């Protein structure tokens, strides 16, 4: 059996209600069944972790505006299905059913799925051909590297110089002293959160956004405030300014170029407004460029920090993973040297340095970024156009944007059934991340992030499965989909 925490963490009624936006979803099922289904998919999707104590029946009933009997019956249904256990003095605690324990759920555990499943939760490309060549060239530098002790918290000097040169090429003059190398972009985000955020500080994030970013800021004690981003309209500039002025956040975490998951690109006017208002509120803007150079159509935007070349108020995060290969766990932070010094002082409590051999390989790759990107654009353009055209033709009720770049399209489903759709697709061997994963406070059940990074065969399989899954959970009307227990 899956162990239950001795002291279960509570989920507040208000937080639970935020996760349960659109829980009825137009369903004709009894209210308690619809509520049980909604809670079940939140557990399977990982948004309510195993071991968490659900809100008291009366509290959740008040927050949702339903009767206590509705919540009590929903909880009873989840207990019968093995998703809840009752502990004396601890209430109703989230559990995994025995059949899921026997085969750990990939979404819940974030692990590797069986080989017969097509795992599309991580939008990523296979290694560029240049990676193998870079490994061969990097081997020449191994003897010199072995002369050191191998604990490198700052970064290989040659790699830092290459990263600085790439920024300079793109219109942002950069000195290697403004760069620290990290263990991927996620490590950079978490390290910045630890240094820049104190418990209770407001942190502005986009909604939707990269889920592991908002997790990192929450873990640092940040109080998240969201601003909307739309695949077609981009950022709500008025909401952005109002939120900045009203909350004066310590940090504003943004992805201005090929935003994940919407693919939006921030306009020049919005960039100017963001930086002007952030300067007046004392907010540090952290610009995540993980997707930034994967432009398919049109010229790439210049880095956001062009307006602050010293890096005093705009911090840039970059990564080798999306352009070159996810197996190279190398990221970086570009900022003012005094902030970098604070990061280096804080770093040893979480790690003792970036892998030296990975750095040697990326040092060979960064000067060849332009050539790698040219081949990536050709591949991604074909994948994007193929997937967008197929989805528009076979699922005409969906809103399928054609983004200017990046690795995914943020599809509007028209109904709040994203989690149910993901579960139905998984039953046919395709694993996707539901829209709700990208919401800092839940929601986005009307959206699905669809990657176009696979081979032609994988893309065709994905679209086939999505068409069949939609017929089961969405295409026949939300009220006809019935209980999700069978899908699980």
CATH of the domain at 92: 1.10.10.10
Q: Do 183 and 265 reside in the same domain of the chain?
A: yes
Look at strands 202-207 and 223-230 and give their pairing. parallel
CA-closest candidate to residue 64, choices 98, 39, 88:
39
φ, ψ dihedrals at 145, nearest 5°:
-65, -35
pLDDT for the residue 115: 56
Q: State the Cα–Cα distance between residues 235 and 487, nearest whole angstrom.
A: 36
pLDDT for the residue 100: 46
CATH of the domain at 350: 3.40.640.10
Asked, for residue 286, whether it belongs to a domain, the answer is: yes
Q: Do 90 and 150 reside in the same domain of the chain?
A: no
pLDDT for the residue 485: 36
Q: pTM of the prediction?
A: 0.80
Query: What sign results for the dihedral spanned by CA atoms 247, 248, 251, 256?
Result: positive
Which of 325, 350, 367 delimits the end of a domain? 367
* Distances, alpha carbon 271 to alpha carbons 175, 248, 266, 306, in Å: 23, 17, 7, 11
CA-closest candidate to residue 252, choices 229, 278, 223:
278
Residues forming a β-bridge with 315: 286
Asked, for residue 97, whether it belongs to a domain, the answer is: yes
Residues forming a β-bridge with 430: 118
Query: What sign results for the dihedral spanned by CA atoms 180, 296, 169, 307?
Result: negative
Domain residue limits at 30: 9-101
CATH of the domain at 453: 3.90.1150.10
Which of 301, 332, 367 delimits the end of a domain? 367
Q: Do 332 and 403 reside in the same domain of the chain?
A: no
Q: Do 14 and 141 reside in the same domain of the chain?
A: no
Which of 367, 385, 409 delimits the end of a domain? 367
Please give the tally of structural domains in the chain: 3
- 22, burial (CB in 10 Å: exposed 0-12, middle 13-18, buried 19+): middle
Helix, strand, or coil here: 220? coil
Q: Do 333 and 403 reside in the same domain of the chain?
A: no
Residues 6+ apart with CB under 8 A from 114: none
Please give the sequence-ordered ranges of beta strands (E in DSSP) within 141-266, or none if there are none. Answer: 179-182, 202-207, 223-230, 234-235, 251-254
CB atoms within 10 A of CB 425: 25
Structure tokens belonging to residue 84: 């809840």
Asked, for residue 423, whether it belongs to a domain, the answer is: yes
Asked, for residue 434, whether it belongs to a domain, the answer is: yes
Residues 6+ apart with CB under 8 A from 485: 37, 40, 81
pLDDT for the residue 488: 31
Contact in structure between 93 and 8 (CB atoms under 8 Å) = yes
Asked, for residue 250, whether it belongs to a domain, the answer is: yes
Residues 6+ apart with CB under 8 A from 65: none
Asked, for residue 359, whether it belongs to a domain, the answer is: yes
Q: State the Cα–Cα distance between residues 448 and 181, nearest whole angstrom.
A: 33
Asked, for residue 414, whether it belongs to a domain, the answer is: yes
For helices 31-44 and 68-81, what crossing angle results, to 10°? 50
pLDDT for the residue 106: 39
Contact in structure between 435 and 444 (CB atoms under 8 Å) = yes
Rounded to the nearest 5 percent, the helix, strand and coil shares of the chain are 45, 15, 40
Contact in structure between 452 and 263 (CB atoms under 8 Å) = no
Asked, for residue 202, whether it belongs to a domain, the answer is: yes
For helices 418-427 and 456-473, what crossing angle results, to 10°? 120
Reading the chain (488 residues) residue by residue, the pLDDT tens digits are 334 434 557 888 888 888 887 777 656 778 998 898 888 877 765 668 777 889 999 999 999 999 999 999 999 999 988 888 887 666 888 886 754 443 334 344 344 455 578 999 888 999 999 999 999 999 999 999 999 999 999 999 999 999 999 999 999 999 999 999 999 999 999 999 999 999 999 999 999 999 999 999 999 999 999 999 999 999 999 999 999 999 999 999 999 999 999 999 999 999 999 999 999 999 999 999 999 999 999 888 899 999 999 888 999 999 999 999 999 999 999 999 999 999 999 999 989 999 999 999 999 999 999 999 999 999 999 999 999 999 999 999 999 999 999 999 999 998 888 888 998 898 899 999 989 889 876 678 889 999 999 999 999 999 999 999 999 886 544 433 333 333 33
Q: Do 34 and 145 reside in the same domain of the chain?
A: no
Q: Do 355 and 393 reside in the same domain of the chain?
A: no
Query: What sign results for the dihedral spanned by CA atoms 22, 25, 31, 36?
Result: negative
Q: Do 248 and 178 reside in the same domain of the chain?
A: yes
- Ordered DSSP codes for 1-43: -----SSPEE--HHHHHHHTTT-STT--S-HHHHHHHHHHHHH
Q: Do 384 and 353 reside in the same domain of the chain?
A: no
φ, ψ dihedrals at 271, nearest 5°:
-60, -45
Q: Do 81 and 194 reside in the same domain of the chain?
A: no
Q: Do 115 and 94 reside in the same domain of the chain?
A: no
Look at strands 447-451 and 408-412 and give their pairing. antiparallel
Q: Do 113 and 87 reside in the same domain of the chain?
A: no
Longest dimension (CA), the chain: 70
pLDDT for the residue 82: 87
Helix, strand, or coil here: 411? strand
């Amino acid at each position: 059996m899956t162990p239950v925490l001795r002291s279960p963490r509570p989920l507040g009624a208000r937080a639970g209600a935020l996760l349960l936006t659109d829980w009825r979803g137009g369903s004709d099922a009894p209210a308690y069944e619809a509520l049980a289904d909604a809670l079940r998919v939140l557990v399977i999707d990982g948004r309510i972790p195993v071991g968490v104590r659900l809100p008291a029946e009366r509290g959740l009933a008040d927050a949702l505006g339903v009767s206590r009997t509705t919540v009590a019956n929903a909880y009873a249904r989840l207990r019968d299905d093995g998703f809840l256990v009752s502990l004396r003095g601890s209430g109703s605690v989230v559990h995994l059913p025995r059949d899921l324990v026997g085969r750990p759920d990939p979404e819940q555990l974030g692990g590797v799925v069986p080989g017969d499943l097509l795992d599309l939760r991580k939008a990523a490309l296979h290694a560029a051909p240049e990676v193998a060549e870079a490994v061969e060239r990097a081997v020449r530098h191994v003897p010199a590297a072995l002369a050191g002790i191998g604990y490198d918290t700052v970064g290989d000097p040659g790699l830092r110089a290459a990263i600085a040169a790439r920024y300079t090429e793109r219109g942002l003059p950069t000195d290697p002293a403004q760069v620290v190398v990290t263990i991927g972009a996620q490590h950079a985000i978490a390290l910045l959160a630890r240094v820049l955020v104190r418990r209770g500080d407001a942190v502005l994030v986009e909604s939707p956004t990269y889920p592991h970013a908002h997790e990192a800021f929450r873990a640092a004690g940040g109080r998240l405030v969201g601003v909307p981003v739309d695949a077609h309209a981009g950022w709500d500039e008025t909401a952005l300014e109002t939120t900045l002025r009203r909350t004066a956040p310590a940090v504003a975490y943004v992805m201005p170029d090929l935003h994940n998951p919407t693919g939006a690109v921030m306009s020049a006017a919005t960039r100017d407004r963001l930086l002007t208002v952030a300067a007046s509120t004392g907010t540090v803007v952290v610009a995540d460029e993980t997707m930034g150079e994967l432009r398919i159509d049109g010229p790439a935007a210049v880095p956001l920090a062009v307006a602050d070349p010293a890096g005093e108020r705009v911090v840039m995060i970059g990564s080798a993973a999306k352009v070159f290969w996810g197996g190279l766990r190398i990221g970086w932070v570009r900022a003012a040297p005094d902030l970098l010094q604070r990061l280096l002082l804080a770093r040893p409590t979480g790690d003792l340095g970036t892998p030296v051999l990975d750095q040697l390989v990326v040092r060979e790759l960064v000067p060849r970024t332009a050539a790698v990107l040219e081949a990536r654009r050709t591949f991604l353009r074909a994948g994007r156009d193929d997937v967008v055209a197929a989805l528009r033709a076979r699922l005409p009720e969906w809103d399928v944007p054609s983004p200017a770049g990046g690795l995914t399209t943020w599809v509007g489903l028209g109904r709040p059934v994203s989690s149910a759709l993901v579960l139905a697709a998984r039953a046919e061997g395709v694993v996707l991340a539901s829209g709700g994963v990208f919401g800092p406070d839940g929601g986005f059940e009307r959206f699905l992030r669809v990657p176009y990074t696979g081979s032609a065969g994988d893309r065709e399989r994905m679209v086939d499965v999505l068409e069949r899954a939609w017929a089961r959970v969405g295409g026949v009307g939300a009220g006809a989909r019935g209980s999700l227990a069978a899908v699980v």
